[in-house]
């Protein structure tokens, strides 16, 4: 009899603990778009040079003609509250002159290519050829750069060489800033074939602040007659956030089927709303375990 009583009490405690456990939670990672346009319609970007930066309705892309010494730029404000991000876009360079450079990325309100804060992809026809760059300038004006010149990114690799861009090819560019690792990386691929053309990373060593715009800019470039002309397309900036998804288990209702139909219509009985369950407090679980141990101890003493 004593064993039977103990088992009944133990079963009741376990049933109670399970019945009050209401919520299962799971963490999932969601993509959150910060800004996106495919230029199928005018994106409404702001520019100080409408003849050099504008939406081309025929091609449904964004035309640019950067030239140093003009302070030309085109930008769109973004709702970005710091943290890691990824920026993807396509670019076609139709023509370029010596010392010309296409610069696009995430910047502060200054949009200055020589001062922070900015995270820029750069296609530049300079002293060592037609090179691709990742340039990051933090809010303290510390400069971080890597290029597709072999001596910039190859290190001790022996099978490494300089990679140059060409005109009239569509490049797909991916820039990632990782706030946790405090670094940024770039990958540039052939849009048509998907082949990786070049990519590398820079270590920043601190978090970036004051980034508030997506911008094509020549501010800070004082060289003249160095035009770069082309088109920008399929711009998307996004991040990933971890969210907790909760589900509440439901207990199937028990129904009874009468063997004899009622002779008179049954009067509907109003039902009470199902109470909303809240997450199980750790105190309840601990209390249930403690109660089990107390019952078991009492059982041992008796």
Q: What is the pLDDT along the chain (302 residues), one digit of tens a residue?
A: 555 565 556 655 665 555 555 555 677 889 999 999 999 999 999 999 999 999 999 999 999 999 999 999 999 999 998 899 999 999 999 999 999 999 999 999 999 999 989 999 999 999 999 999 999 999 999 999 999 999 999 988 888 999 999 999 999 999 999 999 999 999 999 999 999 999 999 999 999 999 999 999 999 999 888 999 999 999 999 999 887 776 666 655 555 455 445 544 444 444 444 444 445 445 555 555 555 566 555 556 65
Q: Which residues pair with 130 in a beta bridge?
A: 125
Q: Which of 147, 145, 119, 121 is nearest to 232 (CA)?
A: 121
pLDDT at residue 247 in the model: 63
Could you tell me the two tokens for 55?
């939406």
CATH number of the domain at 28-244, please? 2.60.120.200
pTM for the full predicted model: 0.74
> How much is the pLDDT for 174?
98
Place of tokens 């990519």: 199
Which H or E element spans position 93?
Answer: strand 85-96
Residue 170: both structure tokens together: 């569509």
Among candidates 235, 234, 226, 230, which has minimal Cα distance to 93? Answer: 230
Residue 290 buriedness (CB in 10 A; 0-12 / 13-18 / 19+): exposed
CA atoms within 13 A on the CB side of 133: 23
Distances in Å between the Cα of 92 and the Cα atoms of 169, 228, 271 are 6, 10, 66
Distance CA 215, CA 109 (A): 9
Q: Are strands 85-96 and 170-178 parallel, antiparallel or unpaired?
A: antiparallel
**The pLDDT of residue 159:** 83
């Amino acid at each position: 009899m004593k064993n039977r009583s103990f088992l009944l009490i133990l079963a009741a405690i376990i049933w109670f603990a399970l019945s009050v456990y209401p919520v299962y939670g799971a963490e999932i990672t969601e993509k959150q778009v910060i800004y996106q346009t495919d230029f199928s319609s005018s994106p409404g970007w702001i520019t100080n040079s409408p003849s050099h930066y504008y939406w081309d309705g025929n091609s449904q892309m964004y035309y640019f003609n950067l030239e140093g010494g003009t302070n030309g730029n085109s930008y769109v404000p973004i709702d970005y509250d710091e943290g890691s991000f990824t920026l993807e876009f396509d670019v076609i360079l139709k023509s370029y002159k010596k010392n010309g450079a296409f610069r696009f990325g995430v910047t502060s309100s200054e949009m200055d290519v020589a001062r922070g804060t900015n995270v820029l992809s750069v296609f530049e026809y300079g002293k060592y050829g037609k090179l691709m760059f990742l340039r990051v300038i933090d809010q303290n004006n510390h400069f971080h750069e890597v290029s597709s010149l072999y001596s910039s990114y190859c290190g001790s690799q022996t099978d490494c060489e300089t990679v140059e861009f060409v005109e009239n090819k569509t490049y797909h560019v991916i820039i990632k800033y990782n706030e946790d690792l405090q670094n940024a990386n770039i990958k540039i691929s052939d849009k048509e074939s998907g082949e990786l053309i070049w990519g590398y990373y820079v270590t920043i060593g601190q978090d970036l602040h004051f980034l508030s715009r997506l911008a094509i800019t020549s501010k800070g470039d004082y060289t003249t007659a160095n035009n770069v002309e082309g088109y920008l397309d399929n711009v998307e900036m996004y991040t990933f956030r971890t969210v907790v998804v909760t589900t509440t288990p439901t207990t199937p209702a028990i129904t009874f089927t009468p063997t004899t139909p009622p002779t008179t219509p049954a009067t509907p009985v109003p039902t009470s709303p199902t109470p909303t369950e809240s997450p199980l407090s750790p105190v309840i679980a601990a209390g249930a375990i403690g109660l089990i141990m107390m019952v078991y101890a009492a059982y041992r003493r008796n």
